[in-house]
Chains A and B, each alone.
Chain A
Amino acid sequence: MTMFKFPSLRAGKIAAAYLAAILLGAALLIPKGAVAETHVVSIEGFQFVPAEISVSVGDTVTWINRDVAPHTATAGDGSFDSGSLGQDDEWSVVIETAGEFDYICLFHPQMQGVITAE
């Protein structure tokens, strides 16, 4: 009942190897920084860890609250606000403009962090 023939297993393997090589080559040709990254900031012991990060425009920043107490990541200029994050909650934002963004926890304003986006 076979209507057509699959290529042989060996031919398939060779094709896959070529495809992988092409994709790898393409990945190497893409300038550094063009692929959006995700930066994780842990909130633990009433601190943002790390408190200072550098990102590229288009990157994502994810905060994960490891404390029992709820926290927020709230930009001083109002550009982002996580709202209340309970224990083990996480929240992400895509940084869409260059600049330096200071942020705090609204509940514990002594907790401060900064994102530098280029």
Chain B
Amino acid sequence: MAGLAALAFAGLSASACAAGDEGPSDLEIAHIAYTAGNIDIRYAHLALALSDNPEVRTFANTMISDHTAVNDAALALLKKLNAQPQDNATSQTLSKQAADKRDELAALRGAAFDRAYADNELAYHQFVNKTVEEAFIPAADNAEFKALLGQALATFKVHEHHADKMVKALR
């Protein structure tokens, strides 16, 4: 996870240098955050397809509804600002790594899947939360966007606690 975080920050600083600015642009952050949300929604759909565990299924359903709501709010704000999210190396790296992780999870069944899904959810939310809190929110320029990132972070922190409980319950 530290490697992933380092990679994400490397991708961000590279594009930031190109823009001659400090940190990623709002439109890059928006793209990364949206991508990260969609990744978790896809993990959740995989869990609903493969898991019979009620706790895992409840968690997965909450991930779908919450990340959909946050992403919809981001899209609504971008539309209001007449802006388009900007694809970037970090988004692409996240997507590639998530595809590999999905392949890994899809090969598992039963309790092995449940544990691996729960572990990944905890690690993924820890990584995303650290990135949003320490990199994205400080770098965001638009006040409304910054506020939305704050709401998103509050949501993802609840997910992190929920995932932590799920990991412990499945041990």
CB pair B162–A70 under 8 Å, yes or no, is no
Select from chain A the residue with minimum beta-carbon distance to B165. A110
Cα separation A86 to B70 with both chains bound (whole Å): 11
| Selected contact of A46 from candidates B61, B65, B69, B158, CB within 8 Å | B158
Residue B111 interfacial (CB < 8 Å): no
Residue A84 interfacial (CB < 8 Å): yes
Q: Mark B155-171, 1 if CB is under 8 A from A, else 0.
A: 10010011000000000
Cβ distance A65 to chain B, nearest Cβ, rounded Å:
10
CB pair B65–A69 under 8 Å, yes or no, is yes
CB pair A107–B69 under 8 Å, yes or no, is no
| Selected contact of B155 from candidates A69, A86, A110, CB within 8 Å | A69
Query: Which of B92-100, B117-125, B132-140, B146-154 binds A?
Result: B146-154
CB pair B62–A107 under 8 Å, yes or no, is yes
Residue A13 interfacial (CB < 8 Å): no
CB pair A87–B69 under 8 Å, yes or no, is yes
- What bracket does the count of chain B residues touching chain A fall in? 10 to 19
Q: Mark A71-112, 1 if CB is under 8 A from B, else 0.
A: 000000000000010110000000000000000000110100
Residue B73 interfacial (CB < 8 Å): yes
**Given known A-B contacts A86-B69, A87-B69, A67 and B162 have beta carbons under 8 A apart:** no
Cα separation A84 to B66 with both chains bound (whole Å): 11
- Which chain B residues (100-129) contact chain A, with CB distance < 8 Å? none
A-B contacts besides A46-B154, A70-B65, 19 pairs, CB < 8 Å: A46-B155, A67-B154, A68-B69, A68-B73, A68-B151, A68-B152, A68-B155, A69-B65, A69-B66, A69-B69, A69-B155, A70-B66, A70-B69, A84-B65, A87-B69, A107-B61, A107-B66, A108-B158, A110-B162
Q: Which 8 A-B pairs have the closest CB atoms?
A: A69-B66, A107-B62, A68-B151, A69-B155, A68-B73, A46-B158, A70-B65, A69-B69
Residues on B lying within 8 angstroms of A by beta carbon are 61-62, 65-66, 69-70, 73, 148, 151-152, 154-155, 158, 161-162
Could you jot down 25 A-B contacts, CB within 8 Å?
A: A45-B154, A46-B154, A46-B158, A67-B151, A67-B154, A67-B155, A68-B148, A68-B152, A68-B155, A69-B66, A69-B155, A70-B65, A70-B66, A70-B69, A84-B65, A86-B69, A87-B69, A107-B61, A107-B62, A107-B65, A107-B66, A108-B62, A108-B158, A108-B162, A110-B162
